[in-house]
């Protein structure tokens, strides 16, 4: 475990209000102290949450903008990008930011919940993960798309896990549409919802 970055006692910067005009308890800080405070804030965030480099950069940039809006700093565009870029690079070198590890963790978690390849890829893209890296993480995780669809059906109690008898054609189409909205192909959705409970559990049990 990497220890917390050095720094002076909390000076109230994390209590700066989101909107200008709120109660302010900290005092203006010089550039050196600003860099250290941003570093400590970023470290605290990564102690609680995982993040891609792009998402972390965005979060820290917003924090600096919030400090600026509160009247603590007056930063030009280059200064903001420079401060956050330096911090992002430092944390990458320390291993606190690792897009490959972030993607692998997200893929594994999403697949366990029955997420489709498409939904996972879109989610990773929204977090700023490179497309090739996302595809590699999905491929390496290796869950079959049918298995993922069955896991989703089991969670939602549709398809083989529906309550009651198999529905009519319209009911089956509604289940297929639910799967399609999750990113599963229509043909796959149709095959999955037509499976019996025994067939579905056999497929999941064979993993």
Q: What Cα–Cα distance (Å) separates residue 172 from each residue in 73, 103, 191, 197?
A: 59, 34, 11, 15
Note the pLDDT tens digit of each residue in 131-181.
999 999 999 999 999 999 999 999 999 999 999 889 999 999 999 999 999
- Residue appearing with tokens 């079959």: 144
Claim to verify: residue 54 and residue 88 sit in the same structural domain: yes
Write down the number of H helices and E strands in the chain.
10, 0
Claim to verify: residue 110 and residue 56 sit in the same structural domain: no
What was the pLDDT predicted at 74?
A: 67
Q: Are 60 and 42 in contact (CB under 8 A)?
A: yes
Claim to verify: residue 198 and residue 170 sit in the same structural domain: yes
Claim to verify: residue 154 and residue 177 sit in the same structural domain: yes
- When computed from its CA atoms, the radius of gyration of the chain, rounded to whole angstroms, is 23
d(CA 177, CA 199): 21
d(CA 46, CA 88): 11
What was the pLDDT predicted at 206?
A: 63
d(CA 205, CA 199): 10
* Domain coverage including residue 170: 144-207
Residue 129 belongs to domain with CATH number: 1.10.10
What was the pLDDT predicted at 56?
A: 97
Q: Does residue 185 form part of some domain? A: yes
- For residue 67, give the H/E element and its range: helix 53-69
Q: How many domains does the chain have?
A: 3
User: Which domain-ending residue is among 57, 77, 93?
Assistant: 93
Ranges in the chain, pLDDT < 70: 1-30, 73-78, 206-207
Claim to verify: residue 148 and residue 182 sit in the same structural domain: yes
What was the pLDDT predicted at 120?
A: 98
What pTM was computed for the model?
0.78
Claim to verify: residue 82 and residue 36 sit in the same structural domain: yes
d(CA 195, CA 200): 6
């Amino acid at each position: 475990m990497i220890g917390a970055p050095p720094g002076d006692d909390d000076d109230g910067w994390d209590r700066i209000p989101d909107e200008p005009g709120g109660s302010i308890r900290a005092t203006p800080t010089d550039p050196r102290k600003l860099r250290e405070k941003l570093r400590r804030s970023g470290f605290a965030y990564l102690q609680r949450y995982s993040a891609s480099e792009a998402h972390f950069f965005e979060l820290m940039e917003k924090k600096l903008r919030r400090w600026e809006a509160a009247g603590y700093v007056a930063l030009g565009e280059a200064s903001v990008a420079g401060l956050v870029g330096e911090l992002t690079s430092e944390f990458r070198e320390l291993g606190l930011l690792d897009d490959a590890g972030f993607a692998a963790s997200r893929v594994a978690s999403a697949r366990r919940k029955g997420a489709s390849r498409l939904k996972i890829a879109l989610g990773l893209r929204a977090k700023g993960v490179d497309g090739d890296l996302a595809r590699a993480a999905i491929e390496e995780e290796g869950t079959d798309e049918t298995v993922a669809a069955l896991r989703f059906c089991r969670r939602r109690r549709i398809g083989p896990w529906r309550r009651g008898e198999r529905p009519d054609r319209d009911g089956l189409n509604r289940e297929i549409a639910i799967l399609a909205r999750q990113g599963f192909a229509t043909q796959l959705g149709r095959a999955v919802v037509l499976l019996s409970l025994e067939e579905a559990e056999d497929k999941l049990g064979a993993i």
